[in-house]
Every structure is written in C-alpha cells, then in structure tokens.
C-alpha cells in the first residue's frame, strides 16, 4: 500500500513539498529539490538541518544531538529535520 503523503510548508518562503508518512522531512526536502537548508549528516549529529515545527503533528524517530537541540528547544518545536517524520500536514520554519 502506498504510504500516506503529507504537505509540508516552509513558512515565509512559499516553498512546499510532499513528504511520506515513513519519510524523514529532510529526505523529502532533498528529493523535492527545495532547500532551504544544506544537507548534512542525516544522522542527527551535525545540526545543520535545525528547524522549527510551527504547527502540525510529527514524530521524532532518531535521537538528535543535544549539542544542537536542547530539551527546552525540543519542547518548543525545535528539531533536526533529518530525524523527524510527519504525522499530518506541517508548517516548518528556519531558525
């Protein structure tokens, strides 16, 4: 069965792309060729894909380096998008 697709909007940029239920947000951004960030380690270690989830449900599947996302930041929706999968339509923003 084809996985469910969610719509991800990047706030303030007009950019949007589709991301599968089982796809990391950074993978979908890269596949869609729509930045607006560098592609880094894809392992939660380098911190280059740090963004904020403005609204919508999501799931943090991989551990994110505490050097880049503090517990307090994580509570406020700050994530490394290489570690996060959508659970519905999302709006995200650069930090």
Partner 1 sequence: MGFKGTLRPGLVQLRVLDLGKTLDFYKNVLGLNEVCRTGDGRVCLKGYDEFDHHSLTLRLADEAGLDYVAFKVGCPDELERMKQDVEAFGYPVDTVEAESDQPGFGKRYGFTISTGHRFEIYSEVKLAEQGPMIKNPDIWTTPPRGMRAQRMDHFLLYGPNIAEAERFCREVFGMFVPEVCNTPDGNRLAAWITGSNKPHDLAFVEYPKPGKIHHLGFYLQDWSDVGNAADLIAINHLKLDIGPTRHAITRGLSIYFWEPSGNRIEIYAGGYTAYPDNPQRVWDSDQLGRGLFYYSGEVIPSFLEIVT
* 6, 29 Cβ separation under 8 angstroms: no
List residues near partner 1 by CB under 8 A: 38-46, 48, 62-67
Closer residue to partner 1 (CB): 37 or 54? 37
62 CB-near residues (< 8 Å, 6+ apart): 24, 43, 44, 82, 83
Least distance in Å: CB of 36 to partner 1?
13
Least distance in Å: CB of 9 to partner 1?
25
Closer residue to partner 1 (CB): 63 or 87? 63
């Amino acid at each position: 069965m084809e996985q469910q697709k969610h719509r991800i909007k990047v706030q303030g940029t007009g950019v949007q792309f589709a991301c599968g239920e089982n796809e990391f947000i950074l993978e979908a951004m890269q596949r869609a060729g729509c930045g607006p960030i560098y592609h880094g380690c894809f392992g939660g270690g380098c911190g280059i894909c740090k963004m904020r989830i403005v609204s919508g449900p999501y799931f943090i599947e991989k551990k994110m380096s505490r050097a880049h996302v503090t517990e307090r930041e994580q509570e406020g929706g700050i994530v490394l998008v290489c570690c996060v999968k959508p659970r519905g339509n999302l709006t995200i923003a650069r930090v």
